[in-house]
Amino acid sequence: MIASPVSPQRGGGFGKFLLRFDSFREIPSDLTEPTLLGSVFTLFGYFLCGTLFMCEMWGFLSAEHHTRIVMDGNQDKQLRINFDVLLHDLPCQHLTVGVWDSFGNERLNISSNIAGTFHEYTEAELLSLDKKEFSAAEMEEYNKDWGSSTEKHTSFDNVIESHDFTFINFYAGWCTHCRNFAPEWDKFEKNTNEKPEELVDSAGQQLSVRVIKINCVDFEDTCNSQNIMGFPTVRLYKRSIQVKKQWKEYHGQRKADELIPWVKQELKSQQLRLPDVQFHDFFQEGCRAEGFVEVARVPGTLHFEASHSGETSLNFAFTNVSHTVNHLSFTTAGELSKYPTRVPRSFQEHVNILDGRTFLTSGFHQAPHHYIQVVSTFFEKEKSRSYQLTHQQRLAGVQKTATPQAKFSYQLSPVEVRVTTSGKKWYEFLTSLLAIVGGAFTVTGMLQASTAAAKRALKKGSLGKMV
């Protein structure tokens, strides 16, 4: 017979000595019984521990930023301004970019450091720029049906140009089909003209749409000029910069319920109107000025204005400096990237707060003026510096004899923001982790014991009543 090894519990004197320190004494499995209630609380304990562990891990891996304000100790002599600005209505050959200091007596022409890109407008942009303005009396005339020659209707082109889209029914009084179609057309015309807010283009912009009818017996010349070959002819005309008007003919059923969805579908496939287009058209092209300038670290003004070219002299008073800021930021002189890469994400939103914003003028002798406060910010952990910006702007009036300028006036803050980063130490994380595990299972055990005791008490009470 082979002797079995002696277990530590039954070993010699040293084993018995170690047994005195056992804080995790085992209970034989024969003396324990699993319960459904215990399983539920055990799973709840696992879930609670897992959730708290993930939260604690997130806090351990995340850094907290603390800021303090001190007097600006930055000794840099120069500052770099990065810009990318689209002038909507000023060609590149007439654009001048420069910097003035705060006293206005030192000008730095920076044309050698910028790239001007010709910006060609789309058809939709040109339509918005070239849209004619009509008086209230003219609009009242162009909104009417051409029913009789006794009415004064002279310009078919102006009818088309007065709205984004015009839906026209060319008819003749002697035509049987036209007379049968008339009630349905009148129903459609009333519904469409009274509910213009439902007519939008592909971008969701509301369109100006008018529905009218033209009597080709009384206005024969107009119908002939449009090559109307039969009656009724229903066409959807589109306002266009072209001399020959664009239209699409309707060939569906002559029912109001069929006309309405057809018009809505056609309009949703178009994009004719641009949102918030207010700048006037002096030219039909723009210029995108992109570049940088390194200036003395003192207050100053970056400006964009018109100038004469080699072949053309401008009337400066009527130039338009409406613009979109694609990018504007301030960085340390000599830094190659205009987007700081070592700046914490929570601070990056204040580095280029003007990006993507458009500033428009509503008439001549106006110019957008920007006022920017530049705050030096030093990140001690990253050993890097960035410039945070605050911005205010107004639409300034300009004298008729003066040249409108898009101005970006910047002021350097006398204080500096210093950012420090702190996080949990590894031993703090480990301590919290152990506390989470122990505390979660202790609380879960207490809840389980309390629930089990209440359950036994209720069961005992019900048995007593039965006896």
Residue 464's pLDDT is 59
Residue 380's pLDDT is 79
CB of 411 within 8 A of CB of 382? no
Tokens, residue 6 = 């002696």
Q: Could you state, in chain order, the average pLDDT of each consecutive group of 10 residues for the chain (467 residues)?
A: 47 70 69 74 82 80 77 83 88 82 60 53 50 74 83 82 90 93 92 80 78 92 90 88 71 90 85 47 70 86 80 68 90 66 69 88 83 89 83 85 85 87 75 80 80 77 60
Helix (H, G, I), strand (E, B) or coil at 421: strand
The closest of 452, 365, 428, 395 to 60, measured between CA atoms, is 428
Q: Given this chain, do its domains 67-121+287-422 and 127-268 carry the same CATH topology?
A: no
**Half-sphere exposure at residue 203, Cβ-oriented, CA atoms within 13 angstroms:** 10
* Terminal Cα-to-Cα distance of the chain (whole angstroms): 59
Residue 207's pLDDT is 82
In angstroms, the CA 144 to CA 136 distance is 13
In angstroms, the CA 167 to CA 211 distance is 5
Written out in words, the top-level CATH class of the domain with range 67-121+287-422 is: mainly beta
Sign of the CA dihedral with 85 first, then 90, 95, and 97 last:
negative
CB of 99 within 8 A of CB of 108? yes
Q: What is the pTM of this model?
A: 0.49
Main-chain dihedrals φ then ψ at residue 390, nearest 5 degrees: -120, 150
From the CA atom positions of the chain, what is the Rg in Å?
A: 39
Helix (H, G, I), strand (E, B) or coil at 457: helix
Residue 174's pLDDT is 93
Residue 2's pLDDT is 46
Written out in words, the top-level CATH class of the domain with range 127-268 is: alpha beta
Where are the domains positioned within the chain? 37-62+424-451, 67-121+287-422, 127-268
H/E element, 130 = helix 123-130
Residue 100's pLDDT is 82
The closest of 354, 285, 275 to 92, measured between CA atoms, is 285
